[in-house]
């Protein structure tokens, strides 16, 4: 799906810029439809709440949220103030400690208040601690309910549940976007599922990035008539068809050896035995330094911590720049969409909480 199409639909859903989309969205939410003959309104002012957002220390953290939000704001129908809270606990979250209190990211003003979170066992408390941090940040910045029109939350737990507390305190309408593992993984935890369903019931609108995710949300007990499917788009200005031979040559690959592309962050990779095969990973992660490992079939553990079976070929982990990612996509014999469910760190947290 073209990212422009997704952006237009997202803009219509959030601000009512397109009459047909606005009518459908408002009808689903039980809201009145505005007369198109009235003069245009000023942009809808979003209070965007999420713990998944790029920052100076983690420039690719939640980049999919920032990209869509930036495109949405570019329509002129929406403006956004982002509060992307950061966890803290003595001796933990060392990487996040370097994140600035505020910054401009993707042309958006982003605030990073801290909230207390006990690693492994603090999951039940996360929504309330997160909400308290966000409300405190709003007060510190001299903002209030009059500064915004809509609370826009991304990722259901703890973010969406915390956002429901914030929206209730500010008496503002709430829209929550589900992303994947929040519903498919964390939704299996009873206490989290109940909190998410309660938050969804208080929201004016819900967003799913796929039809399957929408159906799963319904299965959990979320109101089906408030769910809108807005898929993540593809920026065709970056990704476009390219001759495979030229793409392979640009990446330094020759011959007909199979090439598999696995976009995403890979922390543990096991390459099975077989004919000479190469795995290229376009890693959207924190680390700025690319690492290339040549394996001599000795079975030694790589220094960067990934685990590989003895194999012949090359393992490359990124990140790769904009110019490399399209070539990698075109060069691959097959693309594999990373882990079956996103949010590896969230799965571990969920597992610890469940245990």
Cα end-to-end span (Å), the chain? 39
- The residue-averaged pLDDT of 31-39 equals 52
Asked if the model's pLDDT at residue 57 lies above 80, the reply is yes
**pLDDT per position as a tens digit, 63-111:** 889 989 998 999 999 999 999 999 999 989 988 999 999 999 999 999 9
Q: Cα–Cα distance between 313 and 310 in angstroms, integer?
A: 10
Q: Cα–Cα distance between 132 and 135 in angstroms, integer?
A: 5
The candidate with the shortest Cα–Cα distance to 113, out of 182, 50, 178, is 50
Neighbours of 290 (CB within 10 A): 13
Classify residue 180 as left (phi > 0), alpha (psi -120 to 50) or beta: left
CB 174 within 8 Å of CB 150: yes
Asked if the model's pLDDT at residue 154 lies above 70, the reply is yes
**pLDDT per position as a tens digit, 335-345:** 444 443 333 33
The candidate with the shortest Cα–Cα distance to 282, out of 311, 247, 254, is 247
Asked if the model's pLDDT at residue 298 lies above 60, the reply is no
**pLDDT per position as a tens digit, 200-220:** 999 999 999 999 999 999 999
Interhelix angle 126-140/161-170, rounded to 10 degrees, is 40
Q: What is the pLDDT, as a whole number, of residue 207? A: 95
Neighbours of 47 (CB within 10 A): 25
- Check whether the bond before 227 is cis (ω within 30° of 0): no
**pLDDT per position as a tens digit, 226-284:** 999 998 877 777 777 778 888 878 777 777 766 766 655 544 444 444 454 444 444 33
Per-residue HEC secondary structure of 242-266 comes to CCHHHHHHHCCCCCCCCEEECCCCC
* 7-11, 68-72, 111-115: least confidently modelled range: 7-11
Per-residue HEC secondary structure of the chain comes to CEHHHHHHHHHHHHHCCCHHHHHHHHHHHCCCCCCCCCCCCCCEEEEEECCCCCCCCCCCCCHHHHHHHHHHHHCCCEEEEEECCEEEECCECCCHHHCCCEEEECCEEEECCEEECCCCCCCCCHHHHHHHHHHHHHHHCCCCHHHCCEEEEECHHHHHHHHHHHHHHHCCCEEEECCCHHHHCHHHCHHHHHHHHHHHHHCCEEEECCHHHHHHHHHHCCCHHHEEECCCCECCCCCCCCCHHHHHHHCCCCCCCCEEECCCCCCCCCCCCCCCCEEECCCCCCCCCCEEEEECCCCCCCCCCCCCCCCCEEEEECCCCCCHHHHHHHHCCEECCCCCCCCHHHHHHHHHHHC
**Angle at 110 (CA atoms; ends 209, 175), nearest 5 degrees:** 35
- Selected residue with higher pLDDT from 315 and 260: 260
Q: Cα–Cα distance between 327 and 271 in angstroms, integer?
A: 22
Asked if the model's pLDDT at residue 291 lies above 50, the reply is no
Q: What is the pLDDT, as a whole number, of residue 121? A: 83
- The residue-averaged pLDDT of 163-170 equals 97
* Report field, pTM of the whole predicted structure over 0.75: no
The candidate with the shortest Cα–Cα distance to 262, out of 318, 182, 322, is 318
Q: What is the pLDDT, as a whole number, of residue 290? A: 37
Most confident among 176-190, 240-254, 341-355 (mean pLDDT): 176-190
Q: Cα–Cα distance between 247 and 244 in angstroms, integer?
A: 5
Domains of the chain: 3-229 (3.40.50.2000), 244-335 (no CATH)
Confidence of residue 174 (pLDDT cuts 50, 70, 90): very high
């Amino acid at each position: 799906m073209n990212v422009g199409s997704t952006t237009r639909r997202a803009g219509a859903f959030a601000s009512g810029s397109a009459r047909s989309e606005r009518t459908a969205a408002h009808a689903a939410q039980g809201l009145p439809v505005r007369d198109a003959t009235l003069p245009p309104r000023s942009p809808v002012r979003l209070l965007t709440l999420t713990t998944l957002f790029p920052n100076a220390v983690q420039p690719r953290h939640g980049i999919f949220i920032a990209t869509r939000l930036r495109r949405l704001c570019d329509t002129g129908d929406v403006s956004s103030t982002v509060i992307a809270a950061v966890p803290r606990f003595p001796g933990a979250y060392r990487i996040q400690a370097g994140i600035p209190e505020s910054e401009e990211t993707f042309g958006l003003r982003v605030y990073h208040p801290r909230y207390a979170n006990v690693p492994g066992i603090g999951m039940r408390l996360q929504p309330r601690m997160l909400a308290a941090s966000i409300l405190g940040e709003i007060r510190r910045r001299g903002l209030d309910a009059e500064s915004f029109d809509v609370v826009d939350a991304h990722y259901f737990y703890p973010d969406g549940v915390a956002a429901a507390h914030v929206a209730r305190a500010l008496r503002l309408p709430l829209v929550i976007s589900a992303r994947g593992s929040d519903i498919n993984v964390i939704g299996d935890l009873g206490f989290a599922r109940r909190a998410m369903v309660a938050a969804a019931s208080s929201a004016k609108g819900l967003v799913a990035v796929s039809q399957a995710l929408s159906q799963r949300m319904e299965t959990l007990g979320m109101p089906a008539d408030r769910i809108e499917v807005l898929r993540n788009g593809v920026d065709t200005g970056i990704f476009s068809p390219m001759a495979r031979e030229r793409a392979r040559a640009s990446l330094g690959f020759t011959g007909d050896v199979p090439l598999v592309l696995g976009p995403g962050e890979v922390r543990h990779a096991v390459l099975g035995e077989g004919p000479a095969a190469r795995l290229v990973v376009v890693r959207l992660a924190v680390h700025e330094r690319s690492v290339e490992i040549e394996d001599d079939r000795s079975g030694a553990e790589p220094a960067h911590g990934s685990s590989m079976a003895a194999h012949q070929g090359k393992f490359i982990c990124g990140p790769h720049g904009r110019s490399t990612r399209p070539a990698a996509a075109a060069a691959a014999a097959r693309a594999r969409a990373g882990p079956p469910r996103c949010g590896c760190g969230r799965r571990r947290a969920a597992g610890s909480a469940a245990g």
